[in-house]
Amino acid sequence: MFVNKSHEFRLYPTDSQKEFLAQHFGSCRFVYNHFLRQRIDFYAANKGKKKQGLNYFDTNKMLTILKKNPQLVWLRDVNSQSLQCSLRHLDVAYNNFFNKHSQFPKFKNKHGRQSFQIPQHFSIDTQKSTLNILKFDPIKTVYHRPIKGEMKSITISKTTTGKYFASILCEIENSVKVKKTGPKIGIDLGLKSFLVTSGGESVATPQFLRVSEQKLKRLQRRLARKVKGSNNRNKAKIKVALVHEKIVNQRKDFLHKLSTRLVRENQAIFAEDLNVKGMTANHCIAKSVCDAGWSEFIRQLKYKSEWSGTMFGKIDRFFPSSKRHHACGWINDSLTLKDREWICQGCGEVVDRDFNAAQNILQFGKLQSTGGHPETQRSGRPRATKLVTEPRIHRI
């Protein structure tokens, strides 16, 4: 089994290299925006005809003609393969939109994160700590970890804070052995606690955005007072971007460490398929939901489980994990978001909301993997029910 892994390293280019990098960023951005406009106009002019849109090969031929334009001779100074990669990224964005995997492609601007890709003809020198790419002198690079696997491509990027990075994509042969021993857990994600496991472990929510919110407000007020286009405004923008960068790095560090530990310690992990986008429509909890990073955490659990042989499964989002008592199956239809504990009328037991949800997710995940489902009892019925294993199809 071959998997793709990326290694990101910090670059320290010279002033002349920064200017040439800026030219690469601008040229790739121009090509992307130019052909995005060409594809939009072509579709509007040929809607309903046999050929309604342009593809990658059409835009690649048009790029060759575009570079011959006397007013765009500066496109020839840039690595041609990087320009072609911009067209490839545009084509992927179009296909994702028509396959309903993402929104319609947007025009790129020079104020956000900048990047360009180099598919081949690059090399690294770990002894001299340099990166060698076409049309560039060796760029100083800090290699803080060994590079494993076969290098496929490299992406040079610049953050909004002015830092440069090189992300090297490598193909690694990974021999996955399915775990046959170890605990199986269900996890319930929440706001009061980031997650509660069926084993009783509770991980507190770090709330990185909330911690830095006051400092961020102060810096944003200072930014609003600056004159647009002035050097002081640019300095204030960098200060705001540094705070956002720190929040992102803190959140990534927390999610990676937690997801890695859970995958290493357990044989199987089950989680709920949360509708995060729908939750952000509620203005009362939208900021906390976005600050938690649930979607990124589930994504990390999924691919790390595939790499390590851990079983990972999602249960249906409509399964009443919080309302159903895991011991007897009675469902509390009157449960609200503010109720952290409730009394089961089926057996009289005091139920902790988060721990009960984690237990239900574990039970349902185990039965779902074998083709069963737990039977539930509505609040109007006096007797409790138990788990049964009737065949039923659920989304995973």
Nearest to 210 by CA among 288, 286, 282: 288
Task: Give residue for tokens 């011959």.
Answer: 68
Q: Which of 346, 277, 354, 316 is nearest to 102 (CA)?
A: 277
| Residue 272: active-site member | yes
Q: For residue 58, indicate whether it is catalytic.
A: no
Residue 103 CB coordination number (10 Å): 9
Q: Which residues have C-beta within 8 Å of that of residue 139, sequence separation ≥ 6?
A: 11, 12, 13, 17, 130, 131, 132, 133, 166
Question: Of the listed 173, 188, 201, 390, which one is catalytic?
Answer: 188
Catalytic, out of 15, 58, 213, 272: 272
Report how far residue 196's alpha carbon sits from residue 359's, in angstroms, rounded to the nearest whole number.
10
> Do 25 and 56 touch, CB atoms closer than 8 A?
no
Of the candidates 300, 304, 347, 303, the one whose C-alpha atom is nearest the C-alpha of residue 325 is: 347
What tokens does 179 get?
Answer: 């775990």
Q: Please say if 173 is a catalytic residue.
A: no
Q: Residue 238: is it exposed, middle or buried by C-beta count within 10 angstroms (0-12/13-18/19+)?
A: middle
Quote the CA–CA distance of 119 and 152 in Å, as a whole number.
7
DSSP label at residue 152: E
User: Alpha-carbon distance 20 to 116, whole Å?
Assistant: 12
- The residue from 77, 296, 352, 354 that is catalytic is 354
C-alpha neighbours within 13 Å on the C-beta side of residue 193: 16
Cβ atoms of 276 and 294 within 8 Å: the answer is yes
| CA 14-135-69 angle, 5° bins | 115
CA distance 190 to 288: 10
Residues recognised as catalytic: 188, 272, 354
